[in-house]
Structure 1
Amino acid sequence: MKKLIVLCTTLFIHSLLLPSALAQDTKTALVPLPSIDDFSRGKDGWSFALGAGIEYETAYEGSDEFGLELEPAGGLQWRRGNDVFYWVGEAIGWRGLRADTWLFEALVGFDEGRAESDSKKGYLDGLGESDEGFELVLQSRRAFAADWRYWLVGRVVTGGNGNLGLFGVGRRFGEKFDGSGSEVNIVAVFHDSKYANKDFGITAEQSAASGLAATDMGGGFRSIGINYNYRHYVNDNWQIYGEALYEHFSSAVRKSPIARGDFEAEVGIGFIYVF
């Protein structure tokens, strides 16, 4: 899913509430959320940003191995009013703001799957490689007010490897409305049996090759997660961002021999230059 990311990034907790009128006067981002990239500076037309980050993350779903990975950041965007079309990494999508309190998003992304080599300790030997493929992600957020201090979030991920959904709540910290500051989301995650078996299932053939017990996963509750996003504008061009994520798996998921850990975790930090 895609899935808990802040390399020693300090949690900046600000609780000042600004009036909605002031929010409308000073807001340049589509929505003032650090988790939403917006390089437009409030202007219509094209915008472009480029950067990189480093992440310390779980090697694969259910792994107890961790490693560092360099990730590109930034992307290409085109904005017109309250609509933004974007291309970032292996995803292309659209997001739109409606009635100041509804944010809708749709994107098509590429899932790289899982390889046996993802486990340096050989825990995936014999399981083969899981299928790569494209996924459709549909998401909406409903703010309680135009200042986007609190909101509800829902997301559906669907594709050839099954379906995943989440529902949760979020809270924004900080005083600015330009997309800087920090936010926290708490979500409950659910999957169908096909998606569950993609990450945690073991077929009879895989069992014979790996020595792990055959496992047929059912659908239902997958995990509870919390993620944190931080963004700071150093100047007009440079941004620093941080992310942290923790996802605790359900008891059903933890019964899979692939789930060597009870959780997935990820922390990262990076820089973006806006042209």
Structure 2
Amino acid sequence: MKTLTGSLLAVFILSLLSQPALAQDGETALVPLPSVVDFTKGDDGWAFGLGLGVEYESAYEGSDEFGFEVQPAGAVQWRRGDDIFFWAGEALGWRGLRADTWLFEAAVSFDEGREESDSDDGRLDGLGNSDEGLELVLQARRAFDADWRYWLDGRVVTGENGNLGIFGVGRRFGEQYDGTGSELSIVTVFHDSEYANKDFGVDAVQSAASGLNETDLSGGFRSIGLHYNYRKYINENWQVFGEALYERYGSDIEDSPIARNNYEGEVGVGFIYVF
């Protein structure tokens, strides 16, 4: 907990001490939020970003094991006016701006599931691998005004392994409109019973194989969390980004034998080259 809290604080302090981003005259992102990646620089047509990020995160949902992981970063995008179609990692989708204060997004993504080997300490032995599957993500954000200083967010994730709902409110820092700067959001998360048991349930077969108590969770409140994003252009093409996430689980999840911690945490930094 001390390591996670210290890392979150370090990312926040570094962002506050950073100098304003380089002037991006004429470069206006679809919305100026750092969490909404836009490599188009305000122009119609194709845009590409490619880079790497390093994350320090929980080994799996509810884990008390943490480790570093290197992941690719970036996206392929095509913009036409207030619409962007994108391919980013394991997600393919569209987002569009309407009336300057509404942002809508729809994407199909791939859920890799969980493997027994995700725990180096053998905490998942006997539970087997959870199912992989496709997910449909539908999202809407509503800004209080056209500069997107404050905004509300609603997101639904539905797929083969259940349904998840996320609701939040956020604030953007900085004066830039090129998608750089920082933002902080507070979110509440809800899930149905199928999604809850995917991560934290233990059926009779798993209980016999693992020695963990049989656990069947109902739907409802999942967690409350803080999410921080940071993005800055070092020069015309290179961009640095950072992210920190803290999610505090509800009491039902805390009681699951799979949840070795009552929270999940993640800190990540990386660089992207924008073509």
For the criterion TM > 0.5, the same-fold answer is yes
* 1:45 corresponding residue in structure 2: 45
Match of 1:188 in 2: 188
Amino acid of the structure 1 residue aligned with 2:50: L
Residue ranges of structure 1 left out of the alignment (5+ in a row): 15-24
Residue of structure 2 equivalent to 1:138:
138
Is contact 2:76–2:86 with CA below 8 Å preserved after alignment? yes
Give the SS at the match of 2:227: strand
Give the match for residue 31 of structure 1. Answer: 31
Partner of 1:127 in structure 2?
Answer: 127
Q: Unmatched 5+ residue regions in structure 2?
A: 18-24
Cα drift, residue 9 of structure 1: 2.6
Q: Which residue of structure 1 lines up, in the alignment, with residue 11 of structure 2? A: 9
Distance 2:33 2:167 in 1: 18
For 1:121 and 1:96, the matched residues in 2 are separated by: 44
The residue identity in structure 2 corresponding to 1:138 is: L
Q: CA deviation at 1:10?
A: 3.7
Detail structure 1 runs of 4+ shifted over 3 Å in the superposition: 10-14
Amino acid paired to 2:71: E
Alignment partner of 1:55 is 2:55 = yes
Match of 1:22 in 2: none
TM-score scaled by length of structure 2: 0.92
Equivalent AA in structure 2 for residue 269 of structure 1: V
Structure 2 counterpart of 1:217 = 217
| Distance apart, 1:168 and its partner CA | 1.0
Code of the residue aligned with 1:241 in structure 2: it is: F
Distance 2:11 2:166 in 1: 26
State the distance in 2 between where 1:51 and 1:9 align. Answer: 19
In the TM superposition, what are the counterparts of 1:1-275 in structure 2 within 5 Å? 8-11=10-13, 12-13=15-16, 28-275=28-275
C-alpha distance in 2 between matches for 1:27 and 1:235? 13
The amino acid across from 1:229 in the alignment is N
CA distance in structure 1 between the aligned counterparts of 2:138 and 2:26, rounded to whole angstroms: 29
Query: Partner letter of residue 49 of structure 2?
Result: A
Number of residue pairs aligned between Structure 1 and Structure 2: 261
- Distance apart, 1:26 and its partner CA: 5.8
2:123 and 2:156 map into 1 onto residues whose CA distance is 30
State the TM-score, normalizing by the size of structure 1. 0.92
Q: Secondary structure at the match of 1:9?
A: helix
Identity across aligned pairs (percent)?
71
Q: What residue is the counterpart of 2:21 in the other structure?
A: none
SS at match of 2:205: helix
- Provide Cα deviations, 1:81-112, integer angstroms capped at 9, x if missing partner: 00000001111010000000000001000000
The whole-number CA distance in structure 2 between the counterparts of 1:249 and 1:76 is 34
Asked if 2 retains the 8 angstrom alpha-carbon contact of 1:137 and 1:155, the reply is: yes
Q: Which has the higher contact order (CA 8 A, sep 6+)?
A: 1
